[in-house]
């Protein structure tokens, strides 16, 4: 039990020092496809700006084609912006070359994907360990960190199993543990409940909420699901490539869920 307590205390001390630090700052982000070809330009993002502080849990919602996935891809460095700035922990990822970006992502950004992105040839423990193995971290430190995270996510009994032997919810908890292994500045989650049933969806959202509340992790989640979004502290609605409006949770989660549904209805109707 000592390792998980040490792990959480260690993270808590690190997070407490930077409790109110701005983790993410997006400024006038624009993405235009076919901008340099003789074709009709498609503006996926049109001047989006927002920020996130340490410990924020933000949902990004919007209809299909609104630009939310493009936004996440640019924040993660998978895609490049046409113009604008994306500062993560004070560094503009839009100015980095491929080598810089690769290293920066590995150290500062954790990912939780809809399709889990686990390697079937590795055990659950090895999947979680992989980012540290790539960085040549010593075995004793890997063992301590992985053991602590597996206990936190209640998957320690699965450590020798392979991804094809466990449930979707267990796979997503494994992905969440891997996302946290390098203690990143921000966690980017892309439709984390998209491939899960309702029971597993509730479980994984409670898991992500625990990450946010107990470890003070900063989470930015793209989702189409109002239930998943109701776990967030703030929800940003994107429409036609622009930030349409933002709402915040101020009470019970059920009330926030109703507010999200009402806002969606207004935006779709408008």
Cα 226 to Cα 99: distance, rounded to the nearest angstrom = 37
At residue 54, φ and ψ (nearest 5 deg) are -55, 130
Is 60 exceeded by the pLDDT of residue 3? Answer: no
Q: Collapsing DSSP states into helix, strand and coil, what is residue 123? A: coil
Percent pLDDT > 70 in the chain is 90
**Contact between residue 125 and residue 115 where contact means Cβ atoms under 8 Å apart:** no
User: Minimal CA–CA distance to 189: which of 159, 232, 250, 246?
Assistant: 232
Determine the average pLDDT of the residues in 104-114. Answer: 91
- Reported confidence tier of residue 163, pLDDT bands at 50, 70, 90: very high
Mean pLDDT lowest for which of 63-67, 119-123, 185-189, 220-224? Answer: 63-67
Residue 252 has pLDDT above 70, yes or no: yes
Q: What is the pLDDT of residues 31-48, one digit of tens each?
A: 998 756 666 788 999 999
pLDDT of 177 > 80? The answer is yes
Q: What is the DSSP string of 206-257?
A: HHHHHHHHHS---EEEE-S-HHHHTTSSEEEEEETTEEEEEEE--S-HHHHH
Measured CA to CA in angstroms, residue 69 lies from 31, 103, 130, 142, 223 at distances of: 12, 22, 26, 32, 9
User: Residue 266 pLDDT more than 60?
Assistant: yes
What pLDDT is recorded for position 21? 87
Closest by CA to 204, choosing from 66, 112, 107, is 112
- 19-28, 151-160, 218-227: which range is least confident on average? 19-28
pLDDT over threshold 70, residue 70:
yes
Which pLDDT value is given to residue 15? 45
Please state the rounded mean pLDDT for residues 77-84: 93
Between 138 and 9, the more confident residue is: 138
Cβ count near 48 (within 10 Å):
24
Round to whole Å and give the CA distance between 260 and 270: 15
The fourth-level CATH superfamily of domain 2-20+54-77+95-269 is P-loop containing nucleotide triphosphate hydrolases (3.40.50.300)
Q: What is the pLDDT of residue 6?
A: 54
Domains in the chain: boundaries: 2-20+54-77+95-269
| Global confidence as pTM | 0.87
Strand blocks (E) in 54-104: 57-61, 83-88, 91-92
- Kindly give the pairing relationship between strand 234-239 and strand 242-248: antiparallel
Rounded to the nearest integer, the mean pLDDT of the chain is: 89
- Give CA–CA dist 121/102, Å, rounded: 24
In whole angstroms, give the CA distance from residue 52 to residue 186.
9
pLDDT at 9: 44
Residue 114 has pLDDT above 90, yes or no: no
Determine phi and psi for 247, rounding to 5 degrees: -125, 155
| pLDDT band, very low/low/confident/very high, at 267 (cuts 50, 70, 90) | confident
């Amino acid at each position: 039990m000592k390792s998980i307590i040490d792990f959480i205390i260690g993270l808590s001390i690190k997070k407490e020092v930077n409790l109110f630090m701005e983790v993410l700052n997006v400024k006038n982000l624009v993405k235009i496809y076919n901008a340099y070809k003789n074709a009709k330009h498609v503006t996926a993002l049109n001047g989006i700006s927002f920020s996130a502080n340490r410990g924020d849990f933000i949902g990004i919602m919007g209809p299909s084609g609104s630009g939310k996935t493009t936004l996440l891809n640019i924040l993660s460095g998978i895609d490049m912006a046409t113009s604008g700035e994306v500062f993560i922990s004070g560094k503009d990822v839009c100015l980095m070359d491929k080598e810089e970006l690769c290293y920066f992502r590995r150290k500062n950004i954790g990912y939780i994907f809809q399709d889990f992105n686990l390697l079937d040839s590795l055990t659950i423990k090895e999947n979680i360990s992989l980012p540290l193995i790539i960085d040549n971290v010593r075995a004793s430190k890997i063992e301590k960190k992985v053991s602590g995270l597996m206990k936190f996510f209640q998957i320690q009994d699965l450590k020798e199993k392979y991804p094809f032997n466990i449930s979707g919810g267990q796979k997503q908890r494994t992905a969440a543990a891997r996302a946290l292994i390098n203690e990143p500045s921000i966690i980017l989650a892309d439709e984390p409940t998209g491939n899960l049933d309702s029971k597993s969806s509730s479980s994984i959202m409670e898991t992500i909420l625990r990450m946010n509340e107990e470890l003070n992790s900063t989470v930015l989640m793209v989702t189409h699901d109002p239930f998943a979004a109701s776990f967030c502290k703030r929800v940003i609605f994107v429409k036609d490539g622009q930030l349409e409006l933002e709402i915040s949770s101020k009470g019970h989660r059920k009330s926030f869920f109703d507010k999200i549904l009402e806002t969606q209805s207004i935006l779709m109707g408008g």
